[in-house]
Structure 1
């Protein structure tokens, strides 16, 4: 029997099965369209395997409050067809096995905590910077959730003195996501980030916003590691700029590990989320 994993993103679903050693036996990438169409392909993939449990890390917002009547639902997403969709219920209706349920970024944080660049730490934060910005945290070995899950991308930040862009977030405009996610870069400069690789001013402004977010997460959660993933972070010049801007903002007010070891890239690269889902599936099976 196998563990199953679903890393459910707004653009694509990555599904995988692994053995007890978490070696991936098979995986598939499925375009995220409407729920029925997407899940039909998910079911086609998993129906070929005898599963012990499944771990889901989903795009959000989602309801993770087990006492809520909408637990397991995708809630206020703008993704067509997915708003208020009972994602967990649809999976459980098909497969009568234990299912772990959390956000995609919580799953990635857990993967990095267990097997990536936050291994051997007591706590970590994972931030993905791409089409949107999302964050998850592991504190004392457990994924951080409360009444709901963190929405770290919607933190409010100060506008850069040279920035006239008002932000694209439909809820808050100039929150961290609204000012620093991929669409904000494209809206400012008329090009995608990978076409602006050599434009230093673009990445200095990006670092300014991301460092503000990390400073706030540091002051609030005091994680041992901050792991930065997502498509925007594939710009290799960005990580040193973020560390430098963070240092300027914090002025050594609180101690952290050396910044080279504190603000880091994912050790699992693009597999942090799917790894976390498999690990959570195994734990759900044992609960």
Structure 2
């Protein structure tokens, strides 16, 4: 039986493309077999305008050398999707280089970054300097720490809003910025609206003055009028702002599913019965997930 490596290169590429496209298989294991396939898989991702940066358990020196060579290449890219799944910050330099070299007239449509919290600020700064203005999906979070919230006075976040995010407001469908303070986002209430956004994940931060709660959620609903799924990173300090959301029946129907994530156990400040009593009064909301529990409503 003829080995795969004995086939003509063009035929090998067709086989790889078939495996990826028709069977939805991950090519990362194949890319780790040898330098030839590492290069071939990476090239194939680029041809389909997708760059995937994965972190295998073991990286051979040849693979590391290849990555460093890629970092040193200065070329104009036409990447359409950038996907990063790393547990440390070793490859953030490569991510920055890709964003820096993206063609200004062909910006990235989808960015998904599962990276450590200490790398978030660097990514936001880079996107401020090299805006991607036609995003339909943007994700940046640390899957090992869903309760992390960035400082509400971080100037880089406001600059990111006024460049990349505001320019993508008419194209964004899914926005997952779980560490991003919501009050910074609402500061752009008069200039931004996201009519196509169906899913939003953000950190709930706001003024504790109850007189402002009503206006807070009115602005939120106005910015995201067609939202279906809302996920909130919540701390005990901001639980009153969350409670006001589920107690105001005039806000609904709006979102269909509401999810809470927190470093603390939500049981400590939200009881199941309290949630159910409030939520049963709301029109349109049919499910809430609060870490320890899921309540389905009819």
Fold equivalence (TM over 0.5): no
- TM-score where L is the length of structure 2: 0.30
Structure index of larger Rg: 2
The structure with higher relative contact order (CA 8 Å, sep 6+) is 1
- TM-score where L is the length of structure 1: 0.31
